[in-house]
Amino acid sequence: MARKKFVNALFIGRFQPLHDGHMEVIRDAAGSSDKLTIIIAGPGKPDARNPFSFSERKRMIKLALSSAKIKNYVVRELRDVNADKRWSAAIARLGRFDIAYSRNPWTSRCLKAAGIPVAKHKFYARYKNCGRAIRERIMHRKSWSTLVPPAVYKYVQKINGEKRIRGSLPEK
């Protein structure tokens, strides 16, 4: 078996919810590395923009990756601290990474400050595969099941995620 391009790779996201775009990046990153660390970022307490808790998002990731037969990963959590240097330091404490995948300018800047090389991942139908757009579809009772892995769709229904999102304030 050929050695992977990277030993340790990193992918950070809010995963509100985990969607098909995230899954494509995860497939690519897991396929090019021996181990992929997926960091769930964001506030710990759910709100209108972040309706799912860390534990719910972790469950979504595990269900979807199990269905996709991706095994070379670990999931970590990292709360937002709204300070570049503190966030960069928190990432650096998580370990050594050969590469991180990001397109977010702020995240990329913090990763580079932590000494982690950053590669821009591909966009996979960016405006369709977007957590905000999916939450808006849910709020307006539009179809969204084809935008997330089937396991994530079932899980969000199971935890009454649609009802929770519809009960929240409109997004800005």
Asked if 15 contacts 131 with a C-beta cutoff of 8 angstroms, the reply is yes
What integer best gives the mean pLDDT of the chain? 90
Instruction: Assess whether pLDDT exceeds 70 at residue 7.
Output: yes
What are the chain's domains? 6-166 (3.40.50.620)
Distance CA 156, CA 172 (A): 22
Beta bridge partners of 78: 41
Asked if 26 contacts 38 with a C-beta cutoff of 8 angstroms, the reply is yes
pLDDT interval class at 169 (50, 70, 90): very low
CA distances from 154 to 17, 26, 122, 158 (A): 12, 20, 27, 6
What is the tens place of the pLDDT at every residue in 96-131?
999 999 988 989 999 999 999 999 887 666 656 789
Does the pTM surpass 0.85? The reply is yes
Of the two residues 45 and 108, the one the predictor is more confident about is 108
